[in-house]
Structure 1
Amino acid sequence: MPSDNYGLRHSCDDHAALAAMADATFAVAAHRPGAAPALEAALAADPGCVAARALEGFACLILARRELDAPARKALAAADAALAAKRGGTPDEAALVAALGDAVAGRFRAAADRLEATCATRPGLLLPFKIAQALRFMAGDLPGMLAGSTHALAGWDPEAPGFGFAAGCHAFALEEAGRLAEAERAGRRAVAAEPADAWGLHAVAHVMETDGRVGEGVSWIEAARPVWTSCNNFGFHMAWHLALFHLERGEIDVVLALYDREIRPAPSEDFRDVANAVSLLWRLRQDGIDVGDRWEDVARTARARRRDATLTFAALHTLLALVAAGERTAAAECLAALEERAAGDGEQAAVLRAVGLDLARALASVAPLAPVRLAALARRLPLIGGSHAQRDVFLRTLAARASDRRGLGVVLAARRRVKRPDRFAARLTQSAMHESGCATTALALS
């Protein structure tokens, strides 16, 4: 059974197809824009390349857009057919296709379990590992993300291809678990082993943002500019992190320039790009900054996606954009779509019932929130997926909506567990001290 350069065993022995799959794996791991052309090359060399067909399906699902459900199912059917034509293929190929079946059915955690089981049989399989980590990240499975990377790294030869990328994933999982010193060491090791590892760079930036190391954060990201500007839209996310550091410094002109040139240089419906834009503009709104007509561009995208409840994390950012733009009817439609999804089956329906729907209702209202409700929302918030830094826009909003000082304390205490107190927390606390309650402050900052 021939293997590509990253250890995946294929049933095809076409050298061009194997080389193209290695290129696709590198692009996925490095967040580079070359994955699609590499898959095209693999399929041109071998139309029955099972791994290429499976990766096409995962690429659709990771974009989390309702209209891509059909292409994902089509890719699954093609992968199944290719696997059958190859008489069941290799165990690696069979695991990819079975995991794709789970993911198409909305079972991201089960898909990740299946992929990680394959990695456990033969350490060093980069593509299944990276896909599993991405699925757990989207599913809000932070403990699973850390367990998966811990087990994978335990048997991965540091000299083997892909080790640096895997170490970068482990660094991020450690950061999300609050093990910051370990995360920084792992992230720096990842970057040293694999200079193209933008995710490892990103993990260290997260540590610095969490720690409040603003100057170091700016220097770290700027020094790595050649790496992340070579990325796909992940480069926009790195620019977003850079903007957060400048926002903490109060350098609004720099923040807005970064927004226009490197965070949202053009309209995009990719939920990750929308999340970058919405969460930064919302923070500026909370700081009382006039952002001109920038909300209108994001609101156009939000209006188009208002009924798409594919991914809770994405839909909540859509809702924030509609609220900020004063689009009450569209916001109500977005909320109705989430309510309909919550009544169904699957992981995302369960996430909505656990926290997403209540959070959406809170975001769509300006009513003060009682401490018990705030505590429940803050505790369950990680289930929506994303990172601590990304979810902070929701914690900030909940803090600003607290009905009294006790409620404010509840949210700020939850926030301190994942982020050192910053200008926003200090300002909100000071404002609360000068008010008879928190409601007036909430209306000013929400």
Structure 2
Amino acid sequence: MPVDRYGTAHAATDPSALRAFEAATHAVLAHRPNAGAALEQAIARDPGLVAAHALRGFSCLVLARDELAPAARLALQAAREAKDAKGDAVPAEAALVDALALAVDGRFRAAADRLDAYVATDPHALLHVKLAQSLRFMVGDIAGMLAGTGLVLPAWEAERPGFGYVLGCHAFGLEEAGELAAAEWVGRRAVAWAPDDAWGLHAVGHVYEMRGAIADGIGWIEAARPVWTGCNNFAFHMAWHLALFHLEAGDHARVLDLYDTEVRPLPTDDFRDMANAVSLLWRLELDGIAVGDRWEALAEIARKRRRDATLAFAALHNLIALVAAGDVASARELAAAMAAQATDETDQGDVMNAVGVDLAGVILSFGFGPRGPAALGVLATRLQDLGGSHAQRDVFVRTLAKAAAERGDRVALDRVLAARRRLKCDDRFVTTLDARLDARLDGRPGLRIHA
């Protein structure tokens, strides 16, 4: 039973197929652009390579696009048929197939649980570790992310291939859990062991974002340019992080330059690229900074997604683009699709129910809706369910804070900011908003409503 360089065991397969699959796994771990090509090469050399079909299915699902659901199901079918054809079940392959089946049914948490159950028996199965963290990341399961890597790390030796990548995954879980000092130390070790570990590099950048360490953040990301500029579209995300530091520094010209040249250099419709672009422009708008005609290009993409509520995180960013561009009809159509999704018995149905639909109502109110009844402080405590990182979800925290301030609601604003302060220090946006609301309420004690 061959085991590839990164710890995935396979049924008997062609050595060249195994090498191609290793290349695909490395690309996933390091966020490199050649994963798809390497995966296709692996399948061409061994059409019965179970793990390759499963990874293809996961690759479809993490893009969170309604039209890719059939492709994910076809990949699942191919993986099952390949597993059955090879006879004796290899546990590593069986875990991937089982997890993919759960994920295809919209049960990402259960899929990650299945992967972690296998990893408990084989802690060196790095692809399983990475996929489990990716799935948990998409549903906001911070405790699960940290527990998963904490479970396997004691079994890893520094000399084992992939050690730096598992450290990078652990560093990110630590940062999201608020253990910033540990996250920085582990993240730096990750990059030292695997210099191309963009995820570990990214985890340290998050630490500086949470601390408000502008100079450290800019210095860290700029020094690592040779690494992240060689990534796939993760390079756009690293440029987004860089832009956030310049935004906090008040250098709006630099932020817009980064937007045009590195955050949004291509008009892609990947939801992660859209999230980078939309959230950066929306932050500028909330700061009162004009962004010119940049919204229309984003709204054009969002219109094509106005009936797609596959992922609440993605749909909410599309909704912001439509509201910012003033497209009332499309925005309301997307909000209706989100409300319909809330009836599904899936992870995302639960997310829409808990936070997505109400948050959509708050976003709509910025453009053309009534103020809405949403309890802003309560919503702030539920944002983690949306998935993504604290830094990414901060655009929604800012939206709730701005809504509270515009309502003249000191109680709601305090509750929103209290949720934020558990992990992130106050920044210029918060202090300015606080001061403006205090000035507005000064001498008007009756203007208070409760969240």
Give the alignment's TM-score, normalised by structure 2: 0.95
Residues 336-368 of structure 1, C-alpha deviation per residue, up to 9 Å, x if partnerless?
A: 000111012111001111111111111111455
The structural deviation recorded for 1:380 is: 0.9
Partner Cα distance (1:305, 1:13) in 2:
40
Paired position in structure 2 for 1:405: 410
Paired position in structure 1 for 2:294: 294
Partner Cα distance (1:347, 1:127) in 2:
23
Paired position in structure 2 for 1:103: 103
Residues 100-126 of structure 1, C-alpha deviation per residue, up to 9 Å, x if partnerless?
A: 101001111111111111111122111
Partner Cα distance (2:372, 2:238) in 1:
33
1:165-244 correspondence to structure 2 within 5 Å: 165-244=165-244
**1:383 is the counterpart of 2:385:** yes
Residues 269-301 of structure 1, C-alpha deviation per residue, up to 9 Å, x if partnerless?
A: 100000000000001111111111110110001
**1:324 is the counterpart of 2:324:** yes
| Structure 2: 5+ residue stretches without partners | 445-451
Paired position in structure 2 for 1:414: 419
1:11-50 correspondence to structure 2 within 5 Å: 11-50=11-50
Partner Cα distance (1:384, 1:350) in 2:
10
The structural deviation recorded for 1:12 is: 2.5
State the percentage of identical aligned residues.
Answer: 60
The structural deviation recorded for 1:437 is: 7.8
Paired position in structure 2 for 1:427: 432
Give the 3-state SS of the residue equivalent to 1:63 in structure 2.
coil
| Root-mean-square deviation (Å) | 1.5
Equivalent pairs counted in the alignment come to: 438
Paired position in structure 2 for 1:252: 252
Alpha carbons 1:240, 1:259 under 8 Å: kept: yes
1:57-96 correspondence to structure 2 within 5 Å: 57-96=57-96
Residues 355-404 of structure 1, C-alpha deviation per residue, up to 9 Å, x if partnerless?
A: 1111111111145577x812210111100100000000010010111131
The structural deviation recorded for 1:436 is: 2.7
Give the 3-state SS of the residue equivalent to 2:440 in structure 1.
coil
Letter in 2 for 1:389: A
Alpha carbons 2:377, 2:413 under 8 Å: kept: no
Partner Cα distance (2:263, 2:313) in 1:
19
Task: Detail structure 1 runs of 4+ shifted over 2 Å in the superposition.
Answer: 366-370, 436-439
Paired position in structure 2 for 1:158: 158
The structural deviation recorded for 1:438 is: 13
Residues 302-358 of structure 1, C-alpha deviation per residue, up to 9 Å, x if partnerless?
A: 001011000011001011111111111101000000011101211100111111111
Partner Cα distance (1:75, 1:332) in 2:
34
Partner Cα distance (2:289, 2:376) in 1:
26
**1:358 is the counterpart of 2:363:** no
Give the 3-state SS of the residue equivalent to 1:365 in structure 2.
helix
Alpha carbons 1:432, 1:438 under 8 Å: kept: no
Partner Cα distance (1:237, 1:87) in 2:
43
Alpha carbons 1:206, 1:389 under 8 Å: kept: yes
> Residues 376 and 438 (structure 1 numbering): CA distance in 2 closer, same or farther, change over 3 Å?
farther
Comparing 330-339 and 80-89, the one that deviates more = 80-89
Paired position in structure 2 for 1:436: 441
Letter in 2 for 1:67: E
Give the alignment's TM-score, normalised by structure 1: 0.96
Partner Cα distance (1:291, 1:363) in 2:
18
Letter in 1 for 2:384: P
> Residues 437 and 3 (structure 1 numbering): CA distance in 2 closer, same or farther, change over 3 Å?
farther
> Residues 399 and 21 (structure 1 numbering): CA distance in 2 closer, same or farther, change over 3 Å?
same
**1:343 is the counterpart of 2:343:** yes
Partner Cα distance (1:318, 1:368) in 2:
20
Alpha carbons 2:13, 2:46 under 8 Å: kept: no
